[in-house]
Structure formats: structure tokens, C-alpha cells
Amino acid sequence: MKLTFKSILGYLLGIPILLFGVLALVTSVIGGVVLIVAGVIAVPKTRRVLQSKTGIEFSTGAAAGIPTILILIGIVALAMATAGTTSAPGGEVSNVSVEHQGLNTDADQPTHQLGVTYNTRAQSAVNPDPDSMSHYSSDDGQKFLVVRMEIENRGDGETELTPRLFQFESDGVVYDYQGLFGSSNGLSGVSLQSGSTYQSWVVFSLPEDATQGTLRANNEAYYDETVSVSFEHDGSMPIEMGT
């Protein structure tokens, strides 16, 4: 076998494209097949076999140009296939009518006193952290209820915020917050000083046919400490949670 710069370049280009094409079959059959063909043409040995079987002779320009064109076509096909999988099953989802239920304790001076102004929206998918490209699609038969909120510490001391504080009840079922793996949860590890406010969010995964429910505080979120939570809905608050 004679090694030339042209043949070495062909192997360095063709073999990775072949491997990537095989992996790409999982996402897009068309994109994967196109990339595999591009890899076959780019690899000198497989190109010679193809020439002997078909009688088609590839010039230097064709050996370089055809794989390049096929690679571009494969990338476009993969991009279209990937874009098609970002929507959750069922596409658009119906919104959820939300009421709220505050939490008042019997203690004269609760350990934590919080005021929560919120707005909600049902979505088929959420993108809570665009910088890290975190994207989550709801499961079959499910949808996300996004609760955007501004929390004010109305107590005298510091309060450690936690997503466990919030629950959603619909049709007699109580749902805890939906943890999103790999995404920073806006209510985790936040210490809120007295008189300070913090804007954040929680997400609940609900049945797709859920139409109404109640946002409420979990009185067990702080274990042995007492907590008082009051809610206020603000329909003008932007959700700021991409799909």
C-alpha cells in the first residue's frame, strides 16, 4: 500500500465520518446513511473497492468534493431530526387553572415567614438554564407546570430556601416539585436574609389532562421549625422559562 498525503488525509477524514455515521443512525437514518456513504468515498481503500465494483472512477476533485457535500447534507439531516425531537409528545398542552393555599402556623412567632408572589404556565418542555443547554421534555401523558415566583423573607432571621416548600394538589393527588437532573434548581442552596427577595422557579410534572389545582406550602419542609407562607398571584410576572 502506497502512503501519500492524499491517502493519509482520506483515512483521517473518512474513518471518523464512518464511525459518526453509524452512531448517527440512532438519531436519523437518513443523516446516518449519508455520513456513512461520505466516509466510504473518503477512505481510499473502500473507494477503490467501490470503483472496482461499480466501474465508477473518482477523480481527485470528486474524492474531495463528494464527501464534503454529503457531510453537509448529513449534518442538515441530523439537525432536522434533532430539532424534531425537542417537542414533547402531544405538542402543545392545555393550561392549568391555579389557586393557592397559604400556610399559617399556630406559633406566635414562626421561625420562617415568607411572602410568595407567583405566576404559572403549563408547558410541554422546559429549558430552565439556556447557558448550559438544559432541556427537558415531558413524559408521555404528562406536562410541566412552571411556577415562577418572587419570595420575600418577612421574618426576622435568615431562611434557607428549599424547593421542598412547595407542592401542587390536583384531583386529590399531591405532587412534589420535579427535580431536573443536570440543571441548577433555583431554590437550592439559597440563603435569604430578612427583608430580602429572591426570584426563582419550581416545576411540577402533572398528567396531561390536568386542568386545575392548588399551589400550596408543605408544612414539613423545615422539619421541627415553624413556617408561615402567604401567596399572591401576579399574572403580569414573566415566566422566563423557555421550551
Q: What is the pLDDT of residues 72-130, one digit of tens each?
A: 676 766 666 554 433 333 357 899 999 999 988 666 777 788 999 999 999 998 887 76
Is residue 175 a contact partner of residue 168, using CB atoms and an 8 Å limit? yes
Q: What is the largest CA-CA distance in the chain?
A: 92
C-alpha cell at 86: 425537542
65-69, 198-202, 233-237: least confident range: 65-69
For 1, 92, 186, the CA distances from 147, given in Å and listed in that order, are 65, 18, 11
Is residue 199 a contact partner of residue 237, using CB atoms and an 8 Å limit? no
205-215: b or e for each residue (b if 16 or more CB lie within 10 Å)? bbebebeebeb
Q: Under CATH, what is the fold of the domain 97-178+187-233?
A: Immunoglobulin-like (2.60.40)
Q: Where are the domains of the chain?
A: 5-84, 97-178+187-233
H or E stretch including 186?
none
The partner residues of 160 in beta bridges, in order of sequence, read: 191
Distance between first and last Cα of the chain: 54
pTM: 0.60
C-alpha cell at 230: 402567604
Measuring CA to CA, which residue among 200, 202, 219, 115 is closest to residue 163? 202
Q: What is the pLDDT of residues 15-71, one digit of tens each?
A: 676 676 566 555 566 666 666 766 666 666 666 666 676 666 666 555 556 666 766
